[in-house]
């Protein structure tokens, strides 16, 4: 592929990502994607034959990103457990902050197209099966030494993901409810990031 062709394909994918994330599959239009990418409609179909083909490419990339974000939530092996989890929560939150439309997009597409859930499940399951075993061992060893509470790694991951993702999905609803707390979006999400860290630390530390 020539550099020019690569640039055109990249522009189409970037435009398609914005279109799909904001409008979903059903609402996305290839004419809008082509216009945003600066290519003709015919050229878009030359690179990607159908809207479905473009969507599958975007979805595959986003599923990979989601899988990586799940792995990031448990931090880097080798660090002390609490430091590892703190870093993991921060990395996961920062990933969602950089991709705030992604969780809603994934949830909506899975609800609208249950067949896509199986593809997502298989991909994430491959990424998480070994991780859960390794993290559970670290949690169990820490609990046996009396340093932390006994915790199920799966429930802990659910806590982290839920606390990190919910504010981004619900922000349009939270904004009028919470008033001045959400007036400065950047400040609000900095607070939420720290609140999540503190909540998880309280959950696992020995009392």
pLDDT for the residue numbered 120:
65
N-terminal to C-terminal alpha carbon distance within the chain: 60
Read off φ and ψ for residue 148, nearest 5 degrees: -140, 165
pLDDT for the residue numbered 74:
81
Q: Given its phi and psi angles, is residue 50 left (phi above 0), alpha (psi -120 to 50 degrees) or beta?
A: beta
Residues 6 or more apart whose Cβ sits within 8 Å of residue 172: none
pLDDT for the residue numbered 160:
92
> What is the block-wise mean pLDDT of the chain (207 residues), using blocks of 10 residues?
73 88 84 91 87 83 73 79 90 88 78 70 69 88 93 92 91 87 91 95 87
Helix, strand and coil in the chain, % to nearest 5: 85, 0, 15
pLDDT for the residue numbered 78:
82
pLDDT for the residue numbered 192:
94
């Amino acid at each position: 592929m020539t550099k020019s062709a690569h640039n055109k394909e990249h522009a189409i994918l970037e435009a398609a990502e914005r279109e799909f994330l904001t409008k979903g599959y059903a609402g996305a239009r290839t004419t809008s994607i082509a216009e945003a990418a600066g290519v003709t409609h015919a050229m878009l179909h030359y690179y990607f034959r159908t809207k479905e083909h473009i969507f599958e490419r975007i979805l595959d990339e986003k599923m990979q990103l989601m899988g990586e974000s799940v792995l990031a939530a448990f931090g880097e092996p080798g660090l002390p457990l609490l430091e590892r989890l703190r870093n993991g929560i921060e990395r996961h939150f920062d990933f969602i902050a950089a991709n705030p439309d992604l969780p809603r997009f994934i949830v909506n597409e899975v609800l609208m197209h249950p067949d896509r859930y199986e593809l997502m499940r298989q991909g994430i399951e491959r990424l998480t099966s070994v991780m859960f075993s390794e993290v559970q061992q670290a949690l169990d060893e820490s609990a046996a030494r009396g340093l932390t509470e006994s915790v199920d790694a799966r429930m802990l991951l659910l806590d982290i993901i839920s606390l990190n993702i919910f504010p981004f999905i619900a922000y349009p609803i939270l904004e009028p409810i919470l008033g001045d707390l959400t007036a400065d979006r950047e400040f609000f999400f900095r607070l939420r990031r720290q609140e999540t860290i503190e909540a998880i630390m309280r959950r696992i530390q020995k009392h």
